[in-house]
Amino acid sequence: MADNILQVKNLKISFRTVSGTVKAVRDISFNLQRGETLAIVGESGSGKSVTSKAILGILAGNAIIEGGEILYDGKDLLRIGEDDMHKIRGDKISMIFQDPLSSLDPIVKIGKQITEAMLLKNKANRRAGRREFNAMLAALEAHMVEAAGRENEEKVAEIKRLVKLFDSFNIEALRLESAYNEAYTQAEELIADIEDFLFRVEHRQKLDVRGRLVAFGKKLALVSDPFLTSGFEDRTAEMAALLREQVNAIGDKFEFARAYLRKLIGKESTSEVSAEVVGTLERLKGLLGEIVSRARPNFFRIGYCKLSGQDISLAGRTVEELNEFALAYLEEHFMREFFGLATAGLGHSFAAALEGKREVVAAAEKVRTFFRGEFTRKEAKALYRELVACVDRSIDRLEPIKDSVAYTFRTSFRSAIARYFFYKKNNPKEEARFARQTRRRDALIAKGKTVDWKVVPKVVMDLDGEIENILSVYERLAKKYEAEIAAAEQVDLNEKCYALIDFFKDKASQVVYRVTKRMAREKAIKLMDEVGIPEPRIRFYQYPFEFSGGMRQRIVIAIALAANPDILICDEPTTALDVTIQAQILELINKLKAERNLSVIFITHDLGVVANMADKIAVMYAGKIVEYGTADDVFYDPRHPYTWALLSSMPDLDTDEKLDAIPGTPPNMIYPPKGDAFAERNKYALKIDFEEQPPMFRVSDTHYAATWLLHPDAPKVPVPKAITDRIARMKKLVGGKDGK
Amino acid sequence: MENNNEVLLRVEHLCQYFKMGRKELKAVDDVSFEVKKGEVFGLVGESGCGKTTTGRSIIKLYDITSGDIYFKGQRICAGTRSYRDAIAAAKKAFRSEAKALRASAKEDPAKAEEVVAQIAEKRKALQAVIDENKRKIASANYDHKNCDRAYAATLLEELKGEYAPKFAAAEGDEEALKKLRGEYRKKCAVARKTKLITRIQMIFQDPIASLNPRMTVREIVSEGLVINGIRDKAYIDEKVYEMLELVGLVREHAGRYPHEFSGGQRQRIGIARSVIMRPDMIIADEPISALDVSIQAQVINLLNDLREKLGLTILFIAHDLSVVKYFSDRIGVMYFGKMVELASSDEIFAHPLHPYTRSLLSAIPLPDPHYEKQRTRITYNPIAEHDYSTDKPSLREVCPGHFVYCNDAEEQKYRSELGL
């Protein structure tokens, strides 16, 4: 089963403006799967950017979210507060904006703009990591105790001891690891510094050689951790001595400073650095490279050994041997027992959740009859409480990946019920108001007066529809649970336990990972290198205006990727760029997507751009999705007239005849058309298109289109010739290439 | 299109440098091309390659650094840098030669007199070169400043020729003569103000930024006429309405302001503004890249219609190759201020020769997933592709009508590729 990372359901957004309410997004739904690219295609004003902004929670102040939900990681993004949103925005979901010129701050250097978010997010991440670690461990302990039986006091005490031990050796491991990391980053920084130095020497830039050498010596002293440098002690000491010697050779501090000043004032070049210094630094770089490339000790295991007083020094053995030894020791003295108990705890929690799920599924009939019949607010509230308690029991808290549908059940269900009662109360009022105003207006007109006001249209919701809405929230969950109950047999508890321990390790490393300014700088430079900016070391200190359009867009991508997000939203990232740069940026996004298993939402108006990027395509027009399908569906078997028009209105390299321009302009969304919004500009429009909105017709399992032409009674309209011609031509071209 | 060979615009060795602090930015460097009457000439290249600068230099928005631009046979722009450089080079050559001669004289005193004579001769030759170039500079400066005056003079001449028989016919009839004289005087006033450069008009990229938000559409469209000295309100209104209808707007739109229009309509206003002067040539600087997809096709169709109706010549600047291919008869590809390839549009897409053109063509995305998955982009790295250390490149005609920027070795290669 596909893993939906983001689900958008029945989203409706409008904007209050001076001249009326603009309905920007009118009831759209789509799913985004992990590692998949969804392209949203449409012209400006079709609501594609608004949708993406809603996902990030950065809609303009005059936006009204009229309904719907956006589910991500167990949360409904439309209903969480700004504090929670902060943790998601930029960190989990980030965005590349359309115009690189206006999305970068013109008076802040590029480097600062990239590192800013890293530094700010790091502190928050550390705290959040610790919190999640503790909460999960507490839950695990509780379930382990339950599984072993609460009355078995001996066992409970043993469990408590083990969990405490687990916690403390995790922390011990963290301490060791952070010391190691510190030394490791010092080494990496030193390598970078030396590279920087050598780069400057090569380019004959002015340099304070003595000062730099002294700094290198100081830094080299910091590269010392028993796990990092053991075995290299002699060589590092030798290098330190060499460095000192060379500093001495350059001379006394003041003497050197005077000479340096003289050179600065005079025309004499200061860039001559003796070959010896360069040689030494190159050797030092090599040594550090060796140190850094050594295998990493497994601190999770070593932490335990240290805690139980074992010998963990590297004397006389390699890192691999130490890892082996620590693994065996950990396995023998702790892990086997702990793992067994933890698996039991997991099993207990899983069984309890399964029971809860069964309850939820079993309640189906009751819920259905209840909501289909008469009910009061009080009764509904009671049932709501009961159900929510049931769902709460059915959630397996030891599941590292949160299940969006279950976690958001409470809020969705509550708001659906509240909506029903609101309209139940409001509908008659609204009807009365509308009747009253219409009467008044009619009376005035009957008297022969000119009336310069309109009756505000009534907002009346269909109550049956609202009930269906309530039920659909519940049924969605029930259906999911049914599938899970059916699959419960195959769940491997051992595997789950490994995943859980990995989760703990992950959170622990999150706690210990401290980003300093220098580290952020190095990471940013690496990132700039990754997105293809030449000479990142110099570029890091430049301002946005010193970059060309394509380079600027790369910077924006680097900023978006800095936090390692799950979802990347690209809002027309290449519209402002020309073809070659556009191709580079698209390749870059594709490459990063494959490397990091990103999910991408790609917004554009150019179908040509989408062809290579998208797995699925949603064509939007006037705030609605008019066609939805895989890339092959939409390009080779388009069904909606708007998609036809988009495909045939742009010339490609072999077009000779007059273009099929789409006449007119998109409709004014303050007064959205009653029927199909595209009917006005559509030469294939049927009569019904002007009267009623077409539903989504199913073409195949993956392909849907909202046009009356797909209705069984509709006349058969062939796909325009321009499109069929092009498909045939391209097929020949592709086939020809294959033949070679 | 009609296939005549009358050259409307000729650009020769156009250079446009901008001062950037101490350095100079060579935005356009030695570009030459011809635009024939009635054709659409497409100029493509990535952003910053100088295609817009070329367009703007032609319409005299910048004072060009070097080179000449001829429009209808008249030199309208001329730069002087190349002449100055020639003078400096000649002086330098003279100095080094003289130095060498003097050194030889020192070694061999017997030759001293001969050397003096030789130097004097050389100095004379140098003076001749300097005089020649100075004359050219003066003429270039004169043309650059006075091309409009010359054009106005020819217009006046034409008017004189046109009205002389009329005056002769109306001889004796005081009333008619007076009327004719008034008409003649008015037309002369307009002709005197007419500039040659108004025969070239421009359509700008961004329809929002290029229309003054405080002017009504009538004012925007008629501005050119007003500047040209036409005062007749009724005539202006008539013209404005005619143009609005021509570009697919209606009369009522004349009283509105630009913000009341959609993007496509705004671009239509920009087009109306440029065609009201009845230009011979239009420079369209990325007229559709700021527009929506569904509107782009409308504007392309409109430009195509206008071109047929008014017999326009269009210099079409764009970076969207599919559109350029669809719209242009000939295409020039620019890269970093140089014209690297120039040929008819079918030829350039069928047989691209320069590696940059190839990389550009390979980057066009097409709406076809299977094709796109197969498409491999060719990257262009000028340093790796070319070795110009000894053999200097220039724009050469590899086969009739197909020019490529290359050196001797590459020319051979390209020719063999074409099977010549």
Q: pLDDT tens across A227-266, in order? A: 787 778 888 888 888 888 888 877 666 666 666 676 666 5
> Residue A424 is inside which H or E element, if any?
helix A409-446
More confident residue, A123 or B161: B161
Among B294, B367, B301, smallest CA distance to A645 is for B294
pLDDT band for position B6 (50/70/90)? confident
Beta strand B200-203 with A63-72 is: unpaired
Q: Does the structure show a pLDDT above 60 at B194?
A: yes
Query: pLDDT at position A370, please?
Result: 87
Q: Mean of the pLDDT values across residues A655-661?
A: 76
Closest Cβ opposite residue A658 in set B301, B371, B373: B301
Q: How far is B367 from chain A (nearest CA, A)?
A: 4
**Residue of A48, A572, A578 to mutate when probing chain B, most B C-beta within 10 A:** A578
**Greater pLDDT, B201 or A463:** B201
What mean pLDDT comes out for the span A397-408?
A: 78
CA atoms of A219 and A191, how far apart (whole Å):
10
What confidence score (pLDDT) does residue B289 get? Answer: 79
Phi, psi of A30 (to 5 degrees): -160, 165
The phi and psi torsions of B388 (rounded to 5 degrees) equal -105, 25
From the DSSP assignment, how many helices (H) and strands (E) are in chain B?
14, 12
Spell out which residues of chain A touch residue B46, defining contact as CB-CB under 8 Å: 578-581
The sheet carrying A93-96 orders its strands as: A93-96, A567-571, A599-604, A37-41, A616-621, A624-630, A703-705, A697-700
Average pLDDT over residues B110-120: 86
In angstroms, the separation between the Cα of residue A5 and the nearest Cα of chain B is: 24
Which pLDDT tens digit goes with each residue over B200-217? 999 988 888 889 999 999
Which contacts qualify for A631-635: CB closer than 8 Å, 24 or more apart? Answer: A631/A39, A631/B369, A632/B369, A632/B370, A633/A699, A633/A700, A633/A702, A633/A703, A634/A703, A635/A607, A635/A611, A635/A727, A635/B367, A635/B368, A635/B369
User: Cβ separation of B375 and A632 shorter than 8 Å?
Assistant: no
Tell me the percentage of chain A whose pLDDT exceeds 90: 8
pLDDT band for A449, please (50, 70, 90 cuts).
confident
Interacting residues of A10 by C-beta distance below 8 A, sequence separation 6+: A27, A28, A29, A67, A68, A69
- pLDDT > 90? residue A220: no
Q: Which residues of B touch A636 (CB under 8 A)?
A: 369
The closest CB to that of B369, out of A611, A646, A652, belongs to A611
Average pLDDT over residues A462-472: 84
For chain A, say whether B325 makes contact (Cβ under 8 Å).
yes
Q: Which helix (H) or strand (E) holds A527?
A: helix A517-530
E-only strand ranges, A50-149: 63-72, 75-76, 93-96
pLDDT digits (tens, 9 = 90+) for A181-198: 888 888 888 888 888 888
In a 10 Å sphere around its CB, with 0-12 CB exposed, 13-18 middle and 19+ buried, how is residue A219 labelled? middle
Contact B364 A659 (CB under 8 A): no
Write down the pLDDT at residue B205. Answer: 82
Confidence of residue A405 (pLDDT cuts 50, 70, 90): confident
Asked if B326's CB is within 8 angstroms of A655's CB, the reply is yes
Residue A2 pLDDT greater than 60, yes or no? no
At B71, phi and psi to the nearest 5?
A: -125, 125
Task: Kindly determine whether residue A652 and residue B294, on different chains, have CB atoms separated by under 8 Å.
Answer: no
Number of H helices, E strands in chain A: 26, 12
The pLDDT value recorded for residue B2 is: 45
Partner A contacted by B124 (CB < 8 A): no
Cβ separation of B297 and A662 shorter than 8 Å? yes
Nearest-CA distance A604 → chain B (Å)? 10
**pLDDT at position B305 over 60:** yes
Radius of gyration (C-alpha) of chain A in whole angstroms: 32
Contacts of residue A389, defined as CB under 8 A and 6 or more positions apart, other chains included, come to: none
**What pLDDT shows up at residue A1?**
40
Of all residues in chain B, what percent carry a pLDDT higher than 70?
99
* CA–CA min distance A474, chain B (Å): 39
Task: Say whether pLDDT at A312 is over 80.
Answer: no
pLDDT band at A269 (very low <50, low <70, confident <90, very high): very low
Per-residue model confidence as pLDDT tens digits over A546-557: 887 778 888 888
Of B271 and A81, the structure prediction assigns the larger pLDDT to B271
- Structure confidence at residue B1 (pLDDT): 42
Residue B300 at interface with chain A, using a CB cutoff of 8 Å: yes
> How many Å is the Cα radius of gyration of chain B?
27
Quickly tell me which residue has 């939820």 as its tokens: A360
Distance, in angstroms, between A619 CA and closest chain B CA? 13
Dist CA A93 CA A59 (whole Å): 15
Contact B294/A609, CB-based, under 8 Å? no
Alpha-carbon distance of B2 to B39, in angstroms, equals: 8
Please report the sign of the dihedral spanned by the C-alpha atoms of residue A674, residue A675, residue A681, residue A686.
Answer: negative
Task: From chain A, pick out residues whose CB is under 8 angstroms from the CB of B363.
Answer: 579-580, 582-583
Inter-chain touch B322–A659, beta carbons under 8 Å? no
State the DSSP string of B6-25: -EEEEEEEEEEEEEETTEEE
Q: What is the pLDDT of residue A739?
A: 37
**Cross-chain residue pair B301–A652, CB shorter than 8 Å:** no
Going by pLDDT thresholds of 50, 70 and 90, the confidence category of residue A38 is very high
User: Quick one: pLDDT at residue B33?
Assistant: 92
Chain A hits for B371, CB-CB cut-off 8 Å, are: 611, 730, 733-734
Residue B271 and residue B204: Cα distance in Å, rounded? 9
* B104 has a pLDDT exceeding 50: yes
For residue B172, the SS3 value is: coil
Chain A CB contacts of B45 below 8 Å:
578
B 198-227 residues with CB below 8 A of A?
Answer: none
- Indicate whether B3 pLDDT > 60: no
Give, in order, the Cα–Cα distances in Å from B391 to each of A542, B32, B334.
Answer: 37, 20, 21
Among A240-244, A441-445, A515-519, name the most confident range.
Answer: A441-445
Q: Is the pLDDT of residue A526 over 80?
A: yes
Q: Where do the structural domains in chain B lie, given as residue ranges?
A: 84-193
- A232 touches A290 (CB < 8 A): yes
Does any CB of chain A come closer than 8 Å to the CB of residue B381? no
Query: Is the Cβ–Cβ distance between B331 and B342 less than 8 Å?
Result: yes
pLDDT at B245 over 50: yes
For residue A583, the chain B residues in CB contact (below 8 A) are: 363, 365, 377
Question: Is A608's CB within 8 Å of B367's CB?
Answer: yes
* Nearest residue of chain B to residue A733 (CA atoms): B371
Nearest to B293 among A606, A663, A737 (CB): A606
The dihedral built from the CA positions of residue A186, A189, A193 and A195, taken in this order, carries a sign that is: positive
Integer Cα distance of A162 and A339 in angstroms: 10
CB contact under 8 A, B367 and A650: yes
**Closest residue of chain B to A660, computed from CA coordinates:** B297
Residues whose CB falls within 8 Å of the CB of residue A664, separated by 6 or more in sequence, listed in order: A680, A681
Chain B neighbors of A534, CB-CB under 8 A? none
- Closest Cβ opposite residue B365 in set A609, A655, A730: A609
Average pLDDT, chain A: 83
Q: Which of A392-406, A469-483, A673-687, B82-96 has the lowest mean pLDDT?
A: A392-406
Selection from B58, B12, B76 nearest residue B315 by Cα: B58
**C-alpha count within 13 angstroms, C-beta hemisphere, residue A445:** 11
- DSSP symbol at A609: H
- Range with top average pLDDT, A368-372, A722-726, B49-53, B329-333: B329-333
pLDDT tens per residue across span A354-367: 888 888 888 888 88
ipTM over 0.85: no
Identify the CA nearest to A616 among candidates A597, A592, A598, A635.
A635
CA atoms of B234 and B217, how far apart (whole Å): 16
Q: Do residues B339 and B31 make contact, with C-beta atoms less than 8 angstroms apart?
A: yes
Give the distance from residue B418's alpha carbon to the nearest chain A alpha carbon, in angstroms: 21
Q: Dig out the tokens for B360 from the structure.
A: 């550009």
Residues of A in contact with B48 (CB under 8 A): 548-549
Determine the 3-state secondary structure of B38 from DSSP: coil
State whether residue A64 is helix, strand or coil. Answer: strand
